[in-house]
């Protein structure tokens, strides 16, 4: 322990994972964790469970699993709670969402049937295409109080040592930051006055932070990305982060775009379109919810390609993103990309991608990793925005004066170096001159 890194309290006892939204992503996540715990599956896609981390020099051969290197909660210690306006238990919801096969659900059916959603803080003003009867009543301030009571009761009843909250509920309509989001005082006044600028997701985030529960936002909603809530999180020493799980097409973009830029290949166009038929797709069929998602998806290329620094290569890039609700596809999204690449002497080339992906299968391991890493962050005393977890998000939250880092590989380096720093290991710079110095000294 020599780099001023924090002391980490050990992950003793149970970790409660609280999920606003018990839909496709949340149920696929819970079912998967239980299947892994029962030895029926392997946690594919989860960096915390399957990833390794190199420590020290390449010649040292130290490559532990991440979960053996940093003190993460054990999967057997996770318990799950949720809120949803639709009263279906996790089994019924998973059956309706249709992500997992009936045979896979049958193997964990007893476990899923026990998870029943608490009444949600929900309003159709913010998610137009949904409705459900399992909803709390009261002013926004009272709703926040009710959520806080839910959190305390859950912790008590489930005998949890710690909690984390991961937003897995629908995408809300597009909201711009306004005066009510500027300070904790303005926000709390807004709760009292039922200010329309305070969306349900913000009430969950506020309740979580007030109960000292880390909050991660899996949707593109503004939610905790406002001064009021990141100041509150910093003051109360609670880690927060978001936004929008990085899966599917945006994951592909943040894999490919850094490669084009690394080779100084130009781009004149990137057209992305999707068809999907799940409930998320239906919600995104509403133009106001789509706008929230569109903003989240469009920012990625701008930040990776830096057109102001490279005007000849990326100054005229035409970037378009469409999402089309197409019920026959269910959760099995199809994402097409047409990429117009510009090479030597301006010669054009094209790349076509057709990604037949499964949205919730890609998102579920992200929920797991976020739950475990946000819990780790809290035990390490890291509070406020957790930029080192940008790896998981389409629109990573950062300190106000910073631009977000979208390049998946830079994000991974930052994540792993943060883990090394937490555990008192040297960060890896990839400079590597010492290998050659040693060689030349020896010969
Ligand atoms: N699957 C992916 O790949 C992916 C990627 C990035 C982001 N997301 C986001 O994750 C979220 C969940 O996706 P999904 O496919 O599970 O959607 P889903 O529609 O299957 O599930 C969302 C659930 O949230 C519930 N809900 C809506 N408002 C709520 C509220 N205020 N409180 C509590 N519950 C509420 C809905 O009733 C629904 O059951 C969406 O916002 C989606 O945009 C998903």
Question: What band does 30 get if pLDDT is binned at 50, 70 and 90?
Answer: very high
Question: What band does 1 get if pLDDT is binned at 50, 70 and 90?
Answer: very low
At 440 the pLDDT is 60
* Pair of tokens at residue 404: 């977000």
pLDDT at 293 exceeding the cut of 80: no
State if residue 171 touches ligand 1 by the CB under 6 angstroms criterion: yes
Q: Could you give the CA distance from residue 242 to residue 397 in angstroms, rounded to a whole number?
A: 6
Of 331, 348, 326, 327, residue with least CA distance to 339: 348
Report in angstroms the alpha-carbon separations of 292 from 148, 332, 379.
Answer: 27, 22, 32
Instruction: Tell me the pLDDT tens digit for each residue of 391-400.
Output: 999 999 998 8
Distance from residue 169's CA to the centre of ligand 1 (Å): 3
Backbone angles phi, psi at 310, to 5 degrees: -125, 65
Q: Where in the chain is the domain with CATH 3.30.360.10?
A: 249-356
How much is the average pLDDT of 79-95?
98
- Report which of residues 102 and 290 the model is more confident about: 102
Q: What is the mean pLDDT of the chain?
A: 94
* Pair of tokens at residue 143: 């709703």
At 11 the pLDDT is 97
pTM over 0.85: yes
Outline where DSSP puts E strands in 242-372. Answer: 266-276, 318-325, 334-342, 348-356
pLDDT at 187 exceeding the cut of 60: yes
161: part of which helix (H) or strand (E)? strand 160-167
* Pair of tokens at residue 364: 């579920």
- Report which of residues 378 and 288 the model is more confident about: 378
Instruction: Tell me the pLDDT tens digit for each residue of 348-401.
Output: 999 999 999 999 999 999 999 999 999 999 999 999 999 999 999 999 999 888
Of 128, 89, 119, 93, residue with least CA distance to 282: 128
State if residue 97 touches ligand 1 by the CB under 6 angstroms criterion: yes
At 280 the pLDDT is 80
At 285 the pLDDT is 82
CATH class name, domain 249-356: alpha beta
- Probe target for ligand 1 pocket from 20, 25, 84, 150, with the most ligand atoms within 8 Å of CB: 25
pLDDT at 263 exceeding the cut of 90: yes
State if residue 242 touches ligand 1 by the CB under 6 angstroms criterion: no
How much is the average pLDDT of 305-317?
96
State if residue 371 touches ligand 1 by the CB under 6 angstroms criterion: no
State if residue 277 touches ligand 1 by the CB under 6 angstroms criterion: no
Distance from residue 136's CA to the centre of ligand 1 (Å): 18
Distance from residue 429's CA to the centre of ligand 1 (Å): 38
271 three-class SS: strand
Instruction: Tell me the pLDDT tens digit for each residue of 47-75.
Output: 999 999 999 998 999 999 999 999 999 99
Q: Where in the chain is the domain with CATH 3.40.50.720?
A: 14-245+360-422
Total residues belonging to the chain = 443
Give me the helix-helix angle, 248-262 and 408-422, nearest 10°: 100
CATH number of 14-245+360-422: 3.40.50.720
R_g of the chain, CA atoms, integer Å: 22
Q: Which residues contact 132 (CB under 8 A, 6 or more apart)?
A: 84, 85, 86, 87, 120, 122
Strand partners, 324: 275
Q: Could you give the CA distance from residue 297 to residue 181 in angstroms, rounded to a whole number?
A: 23
By DSSP bridging, strand 348-356 and strand 334-342 are antiparallel
Q: Give the residue whose CA is nearest to atom 30 of ligand 1.
A: 122
Give alpha helix (H) positions in 158-221.
184-192, 200-210
DSSP labels, 212-234: T--EEE-SSS-TT-SHHHHHHHH
């Amino acid at each position: 322990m020599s780099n001023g890194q924090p002391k980490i309290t050990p992950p003793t006892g149970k970790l409660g994972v609280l999920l606003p939204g018990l839909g496709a992503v949340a149920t696929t996540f819970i079912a998967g964790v239980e299947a892994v715990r029962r030895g029926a599956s392997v946690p594919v896609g989860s960096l915390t469970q399957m990833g390794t981390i190199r420590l020290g020099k390449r010649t040292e051969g130290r490559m532990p699993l991440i979960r053996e290197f940093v003190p993460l909660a054990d999967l057997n210690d996770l318990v799950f709670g949720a809120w949803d306006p639709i009263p279906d238990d996790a089994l019924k919801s998973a059956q309706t969402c249709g992500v997992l096969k009936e045979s896979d659900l049958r193997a964990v059916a007893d476990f899923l049937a026990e998870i029943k959603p608490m009444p949600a803080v929900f309003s159709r003003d913010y998610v137009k295409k949904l409705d459900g009867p399992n909803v709390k009543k009261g002013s926004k301030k009272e709703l926040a109080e009710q959520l806080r009571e839910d959190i305390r009761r859950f912790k008590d009843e489930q005998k949890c040592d710690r909690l984390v909250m991961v937003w897995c509920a629908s995408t809300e309509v597009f909201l711009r930051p306004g005066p009510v989001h500027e300070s904790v005082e303005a926000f709390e006044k807004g709760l009292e006055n039922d200010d329309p600028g305070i969306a349900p997701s913000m009430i969950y985030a506020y309740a979580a932070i007030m109960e000292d529960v880390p909050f991660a936002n899996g949707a593109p909603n503004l939610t905790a990305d406002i001064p009021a809530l990141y100041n509150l999180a910093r003051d109360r020493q609670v880690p927060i982060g978001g936004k929008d799980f990085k899966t599917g097409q945006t994951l592909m973009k943040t894999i490919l775009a850094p490669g084009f830029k690394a080779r100084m290949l130009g781009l004149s166009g990137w057209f992305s379109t999707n068809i999907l038929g799940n409930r998320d797709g239906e919600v995104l069929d509403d133009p106001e919810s789509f706008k929230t998602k569109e903003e989240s998806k469009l920012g990625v290329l701008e930040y990776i390609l830096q057109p102001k620094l490279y005007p000849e290569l990326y100054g005229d890039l035409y970037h378009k993103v469409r999402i089309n609700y197409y019920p026959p596809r269910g959760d099995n999204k199809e994402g097409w990309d047409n990429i117009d690449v510009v090479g030597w002497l301006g010669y054009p080339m094209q790349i076509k991608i057709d990604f037949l992906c499964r949205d919730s299968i890609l998102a579920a391991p992200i929920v797991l990793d976020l739950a475990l890493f946000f819990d780790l962050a809290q035990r390490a005393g890291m509070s406020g925005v957790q930029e080192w977890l940008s790896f998981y998000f389409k629109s990573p939250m950062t300190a106000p004066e910073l631009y977000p880092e979208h390049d998946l590989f830079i994000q991974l380096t930052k994540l792993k170096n943060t883990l090394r720093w937490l555990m008192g290991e040297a960060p890896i710079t990839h400079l590597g001159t010492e290998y050659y110095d040693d060689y030349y000294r020896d010969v």
